Structure 1
Amino acid sequence: MSQAGEIIPNIADSRELPASIVVPGIRGEMVTLRPATLEDLPRMDELDAYYNASGITGKDAAAERAVVHAWVHRSVAWEQGQTPAQSGVGDPEARRTMAWAVLTNADHDGDGERDAQTTGNMIGMVFLIDIDGWGKSARIQVVLGHDYRGRGYSRDAMPRVLTYGFAPHPAGLGLHRIWVAVPEKNTRSRSVYRSLGFVPEGTSRDALWDDQNNKYMDQIVMGTLADEYDPVASLDAFGLHLITDNPGVKEALAAREHSLAIQQGALGSDSADGRADGGASAASELAAAIRGDADRARDGRDARSESAKRDDEARFADGNADGRPQSWAYGSDNHSKSSKQAWWRTLGRGRKRDNEEEQ
């Protein structure tokens, strides 16, 4: 029992990770995510998921397979509430891992049958790795089967995992930063990460070995922060829609709306008509999404005044007013014409994948 005047820490502000976790199911339009199990690991071999690992992550195939097995074991151990000493697969810094199996009901190749039936519709995995309770950070990685790369599956899965990761506790993990590390030659994945709001943070020189070209290569670190990440725009940039009953979505949107309100207040009276209109539009969009009315949210954005759109375009062009780089792919120009075509329904059909790098 606490004494008078004693400050009891809020669990949401705690720097301690919980002893156990429930890995939640997450729904997308193309994929469904469920907690990964040890029984899923042989399916990754069947999917040839470690093909061209050096081009995608900078590891050789054997090392990639080994870390995937370790990540799934760590995720299962955390679900079961096992300590690092009990599981034998923990981290001395008490960092944890969450692993999801990526399932699809899509018939992307148009053969009349659902994809990946031989592996129980499983096409790969997505991970939050090195979840650091003290620093409120984690690394995200997607590992897909060879035949399921470059078809937009990761674009459907990743924003939803990011939204869960950034959502305040207890609905999400309450992370402050999520990052990735990409070989310099994997330009396709870097482009996808940029479109999700990740920005380059630094370069590890000659950190990886390029076995195809027999030379060292740099590793590019990219990251995004909770107050930068936009759950709506990250999906809308690819013609995908918010699913508001996914874990953490309502909370992440509410936090984002609060952050936008603070940013709008900090902008002051400059370009009052355009920026106030844009801020009100963003707030109404998020409020509509929180109520589960995604169509209304998009209509509200499309109805935004031309002056606000021009102001947004200017801010994204100079990359200074809101801190986002010029190349941030879901700027207002993309917003106005992004989600009208479901590009992912046809992307990747008939494409040769021998040199495919994007996960």
Structure 2
Amino acid sequence: MPENVESATTDQQSRELPGRIAIPPIKGEMVHLRPAMIEDLDRMDVIEAYLGASNITGKDSGAERSAVHAWVRRSVAWSKGESSSESGVGDPESRRTIAWSIVTESDHDGDGAVDAASSNNVIGMIFLIDIDGWARSARIQVVLGKDYRGRGYSRDVMPRVMTYGFAPEPAGLGMHRIWVAVPEQNTRSVSVYQSLGFVPSGRSRDALWNAADNRYQDLIIMDTLADEFDPIRSLDAFGMHVIEDNPGVKEALSAREHSLAIRINADKSDAKDGDKAQAEHSAVEENRTASSPRSAWSSPSAEKTVRTQPSRGGSEGGKQPSVERKSVNGDADVENNWPYGSNERKTSKEAWWRTLGRGRKRDTEGK
């Protein structure tokens, strides 16, 4: 076999998804995720997960329910190693889906009862849909019961699922791109996705029907890439912590430390170049002043302007920025390039999402 053909074949094989997958459980601060089961589909009905679907995903409730049923069955089939034909779910492009049930064992709304007791503590599901091994791309979607929306659960689970999705195999799926599709009227979800690092990448005009306003609406496509997504910042922005034994987290830590090291070295290089450029500039001006004593360069004010001119990468007066610094977003300094050391864990006891759901009336939520 020619070398180039063999190389192409090897590359193609490396991009194939496994025939069977072990779906890992994932821990969150508010909830935890376990592989979704067929039995959980009835529980989604109990929590009224499809109520108001047209405002959230742009689908009618029946279509949303059918999609969730198909996603869960595809996920279960993949975990059993069944092919598309064996599972009874047609999949001509062999794109797979992973479904997790979002489970709580706490009383987050402060009503004195464990949340979602009637549904075996299931409050919703989160999916990686249409996992494309060739393009290394997947779509993410969260479906929550009507009483559990707007309380920060998506912000707790989405970064953790995305970390697993981006993590290299075998720790994760090794995806290059994760994307979402959201109706233009769902501005709350757009805001959440932006806080997680998604950026708008396209718009499908009049792709959805807005039943509430009796008009068509656009579908906004947003995505983020493996080298753009920062699971630490996306959690830190909402007062949540990294859970280091979750799948893919160790790999994310290693990749981020490597990225920070590259950035710090680049800053040092810029600082050295700035010093060199400032020294050369000063030498040129000294020679110029000596040869032209009556020129503008010899005036005290002009001389002051020259000497206080910021150098490349520097601040006023030619001072270079210190490379030993911490940024406001959790980027660390040279000595400690990780925001969550053993002695500096942030407390999230007063985080906004811990009290967000309290005092809400469940009979009006989601209406």
| TM-score class normalised by the smaller sequence | 0.7 to 0.9
Partner-residue secondary structure (3-state), 2:22: coil
After the TM superposition, which of the residue ranges 7-16 and 101-110 deviates more from structure 2?
7-16
2:152 maps to 152
Alignment equivalent of 2:354, drawn from 342, 345, 358: 345
2:240 maps to 240
Does structure 2 retain, via aligned residues, the 8 Å contact 1:286–1:297?
no
1:281 aligns with 2:290: no
Q: Report the CA distance between 1:142 and its aligned residue.
A: 0.3
Give the number of the structure whose alpha-carbon radius of gyration is greater: 2
1:56 maps to 56
1:122 aligns with 2:122: yes
1:100 maps to 100
Number of residue pairs matched? 311
Alignment equivalent of 2:344, drawn from 288, 296, 302: 296
Structure 1 alignment gaps of length 5 or more? 299-337
Does structure 1 retain, via aligned residues, the 8 Å contact 2:332–2:338?
no
- 1:156 and 1:131 map into 2 onto residues whose CA distance is 22
Does structure 1 retain, via aligned residues, the 8 Å contact 2:332–2:339?
no
Q: Report the CA distance between 1:7 and its aligned residue.
A: 6.7
The Cα offsets for residues 2-27 of structure 1, whole Å up to 9 and x where unpaired, read as x9xx8799899921000000110000
- 1:253 and 1:163 map into 2 onto residues whose CA distance is 10
1:222 aligns with 2:270: no
- 2:132 and 2:146 map into 1 onto residues whose CA distance is 30
1:179 maps to 179
Q: Report the CA distance between 1:252 and its aligned residue.
A: 1.5
- 1:283 and 1:99 map into 2 onto residues whose CA distance is 40
Normalized against structure 2, the TM-score is what?
A: 0.78
After the TM superposition, which of the residue ranges 228-237 and 56-65 deviates more from structure 2?
228-237
The Cα offsets for residues 191-248 of structure 1, whole Å up to 9 and x where unpaired, read as 0111111111111110000001110000111111111111111111111111001111
Distance 1:74 1:276, change over 3 A: same
Q: Report the CA distance between 1:343 and its aligned residue.
A: 1.1
Does structure 1 retain, via aligned residues, the 8 Å contact 2:27–2:246?
yes
Structure 2 alignment gaps of length 5 or more? 271-312, 315-319
Distance 1:7 1:183, change over 3 A: closer
1:71 maps to 71
- 1:239 and 1:152 map into 2 onto residues whose CA distance is 11
Normalized against structure 1, the TM-score is what?
A: 0.79
2:27 maps to 27
The Cα offsets for residues 50-91 of structure 1, whole Å up to 9 and x where unpaired, read as 011010000000000000000000000000001112112142
Does structure 2 retain, via aligned residues, the 8 Å contact 1:33–1:101?
yes
